[in-house]
Structure 1
Amino acid sequence: MRITPRLSLRPVITALAVATMAATATVAVDTTPSHATPSHAACNGYVGLTFDDGPSGSTAGLLAALTQNGLRATMFNQGEYAAANPAQVRAQVDAGMWVGNHTYTHPHLTGLSQDQVDSEISRTQQAIADGGGGTPKLFRPPYGETDATVQATAASYGLTQIIWDVDSQDWNGASTDAIVQANARLTDGQIILMHDWPANTVAALPRIAQDLAGRGLCAGMISPLNGRAVAPDSVG
């Protein structure tokens, strides 16, 4: 009696495994989220995300969260921290952020003499430049406190004073939800105050990016010409 040889299933199983792996790989590629900065065609307006008081030990995590969510921002650095963390200043620029002047020691400027104000601003310009951050064009007075002397001194260094339209209150212990809601109030051209160090601010960034995209808004640069948020390449 002739016995018909059993067919080997190994080639079939191998083929199925290869096909399954290929399909899985395709799905993985197709569903990987894109963190690229939105094209101008997708932007109906721009807002200015700003982060004060860096650079610090928190800066690397903040920069990672910003880039992963396709966001750019203006970092208002303190001079003493820029001098102590020059590599983080360079990292800010390398991540596509803009660097501004936030004084050297974060004082109440309106209580200082003109010479003291000058020192706070000039030393910060130098510290940022030494760290690879270029020459800042934007200046934010600590606490938003300013007067004619402060503005004139800043202007003498080619700096445009920038305050804010919305305060996220992250410096005051605001929750992640509250920070997201504050950003949701931004409209075209407006600027929000946030800070380099709060963990809740970093946690809010994915939802901030999602909200802005849903409203056709993109994170832009702050124009030194008018102090408003604009398209990143609209100002030389």
Structure 2
Amino acid sequence: MKSPARMILATGCALGLLSAPTAAWSAEQPRPAATTTPKPAAKPSAKAKSVDCTKVKCIALTFDDGPGKYADKLLDTLKKHDAKATFFLEGQYVKARPAFAKRMVVEGHDIGNHSYTHPKFTETSAEKIREELQKTQDVVKQATGKYPTTIRPPYGLLDDDTRVIATEMKMPIVLWNGGSRDWATRNEKAIYDEVLKNARRDGVILMHDWVAQTVTVMPKLLTELKKRGYHVVAVSSLPGTKSLKPGEVYPAGSEKDGDLSTDSPTADQNASAESPSDGS
């Protein structure tokens, strides 16, 4: 085990990044060799609605550890409410539920990399961190036709090795500034109240699409957020995301917020932080 040079909480996702010269996220990932008859890329069925979050009140709901077994129901709700989200995917569950991951991309949501098997990066070698992230990049690309463009480390923990590898992979790191504690309470009212308590303009909220109560309460929550004037958008629509550099942490200053530990499953080592298997 190694001592982390620094531990910070990360949560929730996102979009294309960049190497230094460009201003939009556009990670250059290795691409498969071209074939003589390439298959055309699937066209999104729901183009992301243009929302200027510098002019209107926005909030980003982010979902970790998926695709969870209830992701299809969540996607139905998001589509019905014309809302976009950010999904931080685990490679092992993308492999188990590739259709859900593909649908996230087709319907205009952001996707990020949440490792392959959910290890603690602060207790993992740099070589293993790199392997976890690259393996997830590859399986997500195979399932969806696109690479994840942001990283959220498992359990919200990262150190200098994680920053260095994120920079190498040309990906920013997305944390959060509000939680739902859905993994801990598994209670619809508690989740609803916690999200609304933490809602703020340009907020990034941590949730999980494998928690049944989160998915069940989502229609009511989206209705209330809209009533309060929020546009529910993907992280890539929030102010400042287009200029993020590889290895940079978003939201700005979130890595210094010690209170975020109460949102993360690491606050309770007995709580599952992973998307439960359903035999698929």
Counterpart residue number, 2:161? 149
Aligned residues: 194
Counterpart residue number, 1:209? 222
Whether the aligned pair in 2 keeps the contact of 1:46 and 1:218 (CA below 8 Å) is yes
Among 114, 133, 136, the residue aligned to 1:102: 114
Counterpart residue number, 1:9? none
Whether the aligned pair in 2 keeps the contact of 1:54 and 1:196 (CA below 8 Å) is yes
Tell me the distance in 2 between the aligned counterparts of 1:41 and 1:137: 21
Counterpart residue number, 1:178? 190
TM-score, length-normalised on structure 2? 0.64
Among 66, 76, 89, the residue aligned to 2:88: 76
Tell me the distance in 1 between the aligned counterparts of 2:97 and 2:51: 33
Tell me the distance in 1 between the aligned counterparts of 2:205 and 2:180: 7
- In the superposition, relative to structure 1, how do residues 118 and 222 fare at CA in structure 2: closer, same or farther (>3 Å)? same
- In the superposition, relative to structure 1, how do residues 162 and 194 fare at CA in structure 2: closer, same or farther (>3 Å)? same
Residue 111 (str. 1) matches residue 103 (str. 2): no
Among 220, 224, 228, the residue aligned to 2:233: 220
Unpaired runs of at least 5, structure 2: 1-47, 245-249, 253-280
1:168 to partner: Cα distance:
0.6
Counterpart residue number, 2:203? 190
Name the SS of the counterpart of 1:154 in structure 2.
helix
1:56 to partner: Cα distance:
3.3
Whether the aligned pair in 1 keeps the contact of 2:115 and 2:154 (CA below 8 Å) is yes
Whether the aligned pair in 2 keeps the contact of 1:166 and 1:193 (CA below 8 Å) is yes
Deviations 1:90-111 (Å, cap 9, x if unpaired)?
1111222111100000011110
Unpaired runs of at least 5, structure 1: 1-36, 230-236
Tell me the distance in 1 between the aligned counterparts of 2:52 and 2:69: 36
- Letter aligned with residue 202 of structure 2: G
- Letter aligned with residue 229 of structure 2: G
Whether the aligned pair in 1 keeps the contact of 2:175 and 2:251 (CA below 8 Å) is no
Residue 199 (str. 1) matches residue 212 (str. 2): yes
Whether the aligned pair in 2 keeps the contact of 1:103 and 1:141 (CA below 8 Å) is yes
- In the superposition, relative to structure 1, how do residues 85 and 220 fare at CA in structure 2: closer, same or farther (>3 Å)? same
Counterpart residue number, 1:4? none
Name the SS of the counterpart of 2:144 in structure 1.
coil
Counterpart residue number, 1:124? 136
Whether the aligned pair in 1 keeps the contact of 2:186 and 2:211 (CA below 8 Å) is no
Name the SS of the counterpart of 2:224 in structure 1.
helix
Counterpart residue number, 2:174? 162
- Letter aligned with residue 196 of structure 1: D
- Letter aligned with residue 204 of structure 2: I
Percent identity over paired residues? 33
Whether the aligned pair in 2 keeps the contact of 1:109 and 1:141 (CA below 8 Å) is yes
Among 106, 130, 140, the residue aligned to 2:152: 140
Name the SS of the counterpart of 1:219 in structure 2.
strand
Whether the aligned pair in 1 keeps the contact of 2:70 and 2:215 (CA below 8 Å) is no
Whether the aligned pair in 2 keeps the contact of 1:69 and 1:205 (CA below 8 Å) is no
Q: Considering fraction of residues, name the structure with more helix.
A: 1
- Letter aligned with residue 93 of structure 1: V
Name the SS of the counterpart of 1:143 in structure 2.
helix
